[in-house]
Structure 1
Amino acid sequence: MLTVENLHVSYGAIKALHGVNLEVPEGSIVTLIGANGAGKSTTLRALSGLVKTAAGSVKYKGREISKLSPNKIVETGLCHVPEGRMVFANLTVLENLKMGAYLQRDKKWIASQTDYVFGLFPRLKEREGQAAGTLSGGEQQMLAIGRALLSKPDFLMLDEPSLGIAPLLVKSIFERIVEINREQGLTVLLVEQNANLALDVSSYAYVLETGKVLLEGPSARLKADPKVQECYLGA
């Protein structure tokens, strides 16, 4: 569904990505793991058009998208839930969800999908009239994912969904990610600092180090790899 070839990204004189190659099959959950500064978030930002690529190819459903603007990329069905959640703090939960649906014109679908999100995250239903800025970190993460689902995506990119969230809510959010993948058939590309959790929910993984793919393979195999255990799993 997504093929990335020889992706290079620079921030001024600093080279952040050095020829990243990866593939994400339709219907799968694929994860990127690595230390801070490895280039994981930059990779997602490049795929969604938030940073410009210096070189390389990004093909989504066979179409080159590396030169498209972020809003045009969203229109293709590829949606990015950024690190830090980035909810509209002064808008209510329901208004945030409606913002996610700004490209959609089918009111019945919007209503149905909103109900699906509230079923997925009951806490959001309880707080639908509450300002998003007053929610806990975990609730804001639920809202960010729910808002993305209202854009009618085929492909969901999640950047550090566990960051700054209580462990009990992290478990619940990751269960919902797996549920979304299974029930709605969404393809997921996951960036996650908690490598154990990321490898548990994904089928395939890439290990990034200093802007390059160091290792790749089935998640279960990488989880058993001594080098991965030593460097990323705290073994």
Structure 2
Amino acid sequence: MLEIRNLEVAYGSIKALHGISLKVPEKSIVTLIGGNGAGKSTTLRTISGLVKARSGQVIYDGQDITNMPPHEIVGRHLCHVPEGRMVFANLTVLENLKMGAYLRKDKVGIAEDIEYSFNVFPRLKERISQHAGTLSGGEQQMLAIARALMSKPRCLMLDEPSLGIAPILVRAIFKQIVAINQERGITILLVEQNANLALGISHYGYVLETGKVLLEDDAKTLRQNPQVREAYLGD
């Protein structure tokens, strides 16, 4: 469904990605792991059009979407939940969800998807009229994912969903990421520093280091790799 071919990205004179290539099959969960500065977030930001590629291609659903404007990429049902959640703090939970559906005109479908979001994250229904800025970090992450679901994504990119969140909520969020993938068949590209957790729910994984793909394999094998265990799993 999603393929990156020899992607190069630079911030001024500093190269962030050195010709990386990766594939995300339809209805799979693929994870990118690596340390700070490895290029994980840059990869997602380039796919979603927020950062311009210097060279290489982003192929989505058979179409070249390299450097396409972000709103057009969302219109193709490829959605990005950014690091730091980026909820609209002064809007309520419900208003945030409606913002996620800004490209849609199907009122019945929008209402159904709001209800689905509340089924996925019941805590949001309890907070429906609260301003998003008053929610806990975990609740804001739930809202960011639910807001992305409102765009009816076929492919969902999640950047560090566990960052700064209480462990009990992290487990709840990851459980629902799996449910979204299985129930709705949504393809997921996951960037996550908690490598053990990410590889535990993924089908395939890539290890990025200084803007290059260092290793790739199915998630179970990668989880057992001594190099990965020492560097990212704390063994």
Q: TM-score, normalised by structure 2?
A: 1.00
SS state of the match for residue 130, structure 2? coil
* Alpha-carbon distance, 1:64 to partner: 0.2
1:62 is aligned to 62
- What is the identity, as a one-letter code, of the residue corresponding to 1:30? V
Unmatched 5+ residue regions in structure 1? none
SS state of the match for residue 49, structure 1? coil
- What is the identity, as a one-letter code, of the residue corresponding to 2:173? I
* Counterpart-to-counterpart distance in 2, 1:3 and 1:52: 16
Q: Are 2:118 and 1:115 aligned?
A: no
Q: Deviations over 1:141-160 (max 9, x none)?
A: 00000000000110000000
2:182 is aligned to 182
- What is the identity, as a one-letter code, of the residue corresponding to 1:92? T
- Mean CA deviation greater in 133-142 or 64-73: 64-73
* Alpha-carbon distance, 1:66 to partner: 0.5
- What is the identity, as a one-letter code, of the residue corresponding to 1:188? I
Q: Are 2:144 and 1:166 aligned?
A: no
Q: Deviations over 1:123-169 (max 9, x none)?
A: 10000000000000000000000000000110000000000000000
Query: C-alpha root-mean-square deviation of aligned residues, in Å?
Result: 0.4
Q: Deviations over 1:39-69 (max 9, x none)?
A: 0000000000000000001100110001210
- What is the identity, as a one-letter code, of the residue corresponding to 1:193? Q
1:207 is aligned to 207
1:2 is aligned to 2
* Counterpart-to-counterpart distance in 2, 1:67 and 1:140: 29
| Identity across the alignment (%) | 69
Q: Note if contact 2:141-2:161 (Cα within 8 Å) is conserved in structure 1.
A: yes
* Counterpart-to-counterpart distance in 1, 2:87 and 2:57: 30
- What is the identity, as a one-letter code, of the residue corresponding to 1:171? R
* Counterpart-to-counterpart distance in 2, 1:10 and 1:67: 14
* Counterpart-to-counterpart distance in 2, 1:131 and 1:61: 36
* Counterpart-to-counterpart distance in 2, 1:67 and 1:190: 21
* Counterpart-to-counterpart distance in 2, 1:85 and 1:35: 20
Residues paired across the two proteins, number: 235
* Counterpart-to-counterpart distance in 2, 1:113 and 1:151: 9
- What is the identity, as a one-letter code, of the residue corresponding to 1:76? R
* Counterpart-to-counterpart distance in 1, 2:76 and 2:150: 14
* Counterpart-to-counterpart distance in 2, 1:27 and 1:221: 20
Runs of 4+, deviation exceeding 6 Å: none
* Counterpart-to-counterpart distance in 2, 1:167 and 1:73: 32
